[in-house]
Amino acid sequence: MADAIQWIRSLIFMIVIYAWMLVLGIVFAPYALFAKKGALQACKLYARTTLWLARWMVGIRFEVRGTVPVDEVVIGAKHQSFLDIMIIFHAVSHGKFIMKRELLWTPMIGLYARRLGCIPVNRGKKGAAVAKMVKDVATEFAEPGQLVIYPQGTRVAPGARKPYKVGAAVLYEGLGFACVPAATNAGVFWPRTGVMRKPGLAIVDFLDPIEPGVEREAFLTRLEEAIETRSDALMREVGFDPDGVH
């Protein structure tokens, strides 16, 4: 019975947050079209509201640990669900995301992603996509912000293992900025698929930065070890065993 009630609460929560996304998107659209500040304010409000509703409606609390980056950096983040996007975006001053190109054609999301300075990537053309991504990012960083990239390229279920791709290293080399690894356990409570949302403490932990100048292979090794080790620890902290997933 408790699971059934939680599922119903989760379904209502999902309907509410997507309806709220549509309302905010429409209300702020004129402002966002003429001023990037309008897009940022709308998305910040949406993130705050979603995190508040998550606690109130389905019992998901959140916590940010470590030193939140405020300078121009690359954030290499573990990506388990929509929730870790919301927490990171809420925490940093001006987050910009590397995102799949298809999302640009999503109603509302595409408009605001463009105005925030998010960088679309064509996954089907890997070499060309990485080269264009570096060029686009260099152009976009004429304005300050924190660039978030998911080194595994997609959402990965808690405990699942997926290789780290070269894109994060190419950005790190090309931009010459430090890279801040970010670990999370968000997928334990807000999975990448399905309706059910589980109560608990979702954490994003900003780890020690990797300073510029580290060789590519060594960089990727350090990034993966930092993110995976800490993410596993965060999952164990809330009672989920990542080693038990096959």
In this structure, is residue 15 part of a structural domain? Answer: no
Residue 226 lies in a domain: yes
- In this structure, is residue 33 part of a structural domain? no
pLDDT of residue 101: 75
The per-residue pLDDT for 74 is: 93
d(CA 108, CA 233): 36
Domain count, the chain: 1
pLDDT given at position 140: 56
Q: pLDDT at position 26, please? A: 94
- The CATH code of the domain that includes 171 is 3.40.1130.10
Question: Does residue 50 lie in a domain region?
Answer: no
Q: Which residue range is the domain that position 144 belongs to?
A: 60-244
pLDDT digits 0-9 by tens, 131-158: 666 666 666 555 678 999 999 989 999 9
Sheet with 200-206, edge to edge strand ranges: 60-66, 200-206, 179-184, 73-77, 146-149, 95-100, 119-121
pLDDT tens-digit profile of 93-113? 999 998 877 777 677 788 888
196 in a domain, yes or no? Answer: yes
Tell me whether residue 200 is in a domain: yes
Is 37 within the bounds of a domain?
A: no
Q: What is residue 205's predicted lDDT score, i.e. its pLDDT?
A: 98
Provide the residue-wise pLDDT of the chain in tens; the chain has 246 residues: 888 999 999 999 999 999 999 999 999 999 998 888 999 999 999 999 999 999 999 999 999 999 999 988 999 999 999 999 999 999 999 999 988 777 776 777 888 888 888 888 776 555 555 566 666 666 655 567 899 999 998 999 999 999 999 889 988 988 888 999 999 999 999 999 999 999 999 999 999 999 999 999 999 999 999 999 999 999 999 999 998 765
Does 41 map to a domain?
no
Each residue of 80-117: b (16+ CB within 10 Å) or e?
bbbbbbbbbbbbbebbbbbbeeeeeeeebbbbbbebbb
